Structure 1
Amino acid sequence: MLTGVFINGLAIAIGSLIGILLRNISEEMKETVTKGIGLGVVVLGIQMAIPTQSFIVIMISLSIGALIGEALKIETLMNRFGLFLQKRFSKSESNFAEGFVTASLIFVIGSLGIIGAIQSGVSGDHETLLTKAVMDGFMAIMLTASFGYGVLFSSIPVVLYQGSIAILANFLVQLVLPSFMDELMNEISAIGGLMILGIGLNLLQLTKLRVSNFLPGIVVLIILLSLKFVI
């Protein structure tokens, strides 16, 4: 059930280790690579967000989720955790926390991770997660070259997040109608796309959005769609 999940985490770790070897490239090259990744992430986010069929529900979920995230200070907590890892493992890395948070969000949020984890949990089909592992591995190389060791530790939340989804899907698959599951996956992909768009804009240094604080919006979306389906 968790084979694809662990391979995804391993690909990020290997990519990060390769990226560490490339850290001696010039600052100009790092900046250009990072902004190139930002452009790609922006396009990915737009592509994911466009297919939504429930835009109003998406906006309500994102807004309520932002209120919850700000109240819980999720972004602050993630940064503190990143700083703790920095002090513990890499005292010289000034952007350790930024790398950890940025990479975690890029690797965690997205339709591939969610759908792939569900496929693994429901049918044992790991093809989607293996595809994501290849993409994440190359992304980890570039991110580590720009941000440093923090990216390596982003494999931890990826494994925990996708593993939890796979295990939960394995238990709940018998209780959910296929039509509802299709709609849910489409809208989760859309709201995730908006968050990924925010990450891309941050990488381009156009904004300083606290994207982590939008994460509760995914839970709110699931609740709203469940109520809509029942009613």
Structure 2
Amino acid sequence: MPIGVTINALSVLFGGAFGAFAGKHMSENFKNGLNMVFGACSMTMGIFSIAPMKNMSAVIFAVILGTGLGLLIHLGDWINKGAKWMQSLIMKVVPQGNPDMSQAEFDATLVTVIVLFCASGTGIYGALTEGMTGDTSILISKSILDFFTAAIFAANLGYVVSLIAIPQFIIFALLFAFAGVIFPLTTPTMIFDFKAVGGVLMLATGFRMIKVKMFPTADMIPAMVLALPLSWLWINVIGPML
């Protein structure tokens, strides 16, 4: 059972509802301050995941080649298009929350939130990790961040943020199921390298959250796909030749 996936979706659901209800009592300074802390926590999770890696060269190759592939096929643009489609469906159910926001600003922010919760490197990494190893720690830690992140965004966007939990659960549950098929083909060393690649994505996500550098995190997602085969290649082919 995808326990971590379920907890993560519930954190967005309840966080969004809480933020929409209590948003008028939150100052801009309070919202900005928490967002900086969220970014620092994401980077901490990334560093923790990178530390145990076994084959640095394989991890670096996976990140570079995966990001290059994502940029080549414009994966980030496709994800944004999907987010806009989801936005149009959600807006039919729940109206705009903050009447002071322009429609253009509301649309842009909502698309950002959909991508953040449904297509973030941290979420994909966490769902795959739980499916492969049963480790829920990444998604549970992410759930704590997501609850407050959803609350902050919902303070301006309204209850629409809560509904993002539905597509998020569907996407992560599919990743969870897919990972269960892959795990028997892996080794502990490959898992460590896979986690390290996910840690790089979490680190990049943290920099985006604090607005230091807008890494193309959506385009970096293919690195997660390449992590395992490149780690296997390094262990069984390249490593013995060196």
Residue 44 of structure 2: aligned partner = 43
Q: Quick one: distance in 1 between partners of 2:31 and 2:127?
A: 27
Q: Quick one: distance in 2 between partners of 1:100 and 1:151?
A: 11
* Cα pair distance change 1:133/1:69, threshold 3 Å: closer
Residue 12 of structure 2: aligned partner = 12
8 Å Cα contact 1:19-1:141 kept in structure 2: no
Residue 129 of structure 2: aligned partner = 115
| Residue-by-residue CA offset, 1:80-116 (whole Å, 9 max, x unaligned) | 2222333331555341011122233165144x43332
Deviation at 1:33, TM superposition (A): 0.9
Tell me the percent identity: 16
Residue 142 of structure 1: aligned partner = 148
In structure 1, what residue type is equivalent to 2:13?
A
Q: Number of residue pairs matched?
A: 217
8 Å Cα contact 2:50-2:196 kept in structure 1: yes
In structure 2, what residue type is equivalent to 1:186?
F
Equivalent of 2:111, from 91, 94, 97? 97
- SS of the residue corresponding to residue 164 of structure 2 reads helix
Aligned-residue CA RMSD in angstroms?
A: 2.7
With normalisation by structure 2, the TM-score equals: 0.76
Q: Give yes or no for the alignment of 1:160 onto 2:171.
A: yes
Residue 240 of structure 2: aligned partner = none
Deviation at 1:60, TM superposition (A): 0.9
74-83 or 195-204, which deviates more: 74-83
| Residue-by-residue CA offset, 1:140-164 (whole Å, 9 max, x unaligned) | 2321233334474255245423433
Structure 2 unmatched runs, 5+: 97-102, 155-159, 238-242
* Cα pair distance change 1:132/1:106, threshold 3 Å: same
Equivalent of 2:232, from 223, 226, 230? 226
* Cα pair distance change 1:2/1:134, threshold 3 Å: closer
| Residue-by-residue CA offset, 1:177-222 (whole Å, 9 max, x unaligned) | xxx4211221111011111111101111101111110111111222
In structure 2, what residue type is equivalent to 1:147?
F
With normalisation by structure 1, the TM-score equals: 0.80
- SS of the residue corresponding to residue 138 of structure 1 reads helix
Q: Quick one: distance in 1 between partners of 2:123 and 2:217?
A: 12
Equivalent of 1:201, from 185, 202, 207? 207
Residue 62 of structure 1: aligned partner = 63
* Cα pair distance change 1:224/1:108, threshold 3 Å: same
* Cα pair distance change 1:217/1:132, threshold 3 Å: closer
8 Å Cα contact 2:49-2:195 kept in structure 1: yes
8 Å Cα contact 1:13-1:152 kept in structure 2: yes
Structure 1 unmatched runs, 5+: 121-127
* Cα pair distance change 1:144/1:3, threshold 3 Å: closer
* Cα pair distance change 1:195/1:107, threshold 3 Å: closer
Write out aligned runs for 1:165-176 (5 A): 165-169=176-180, 171=181, 176=185
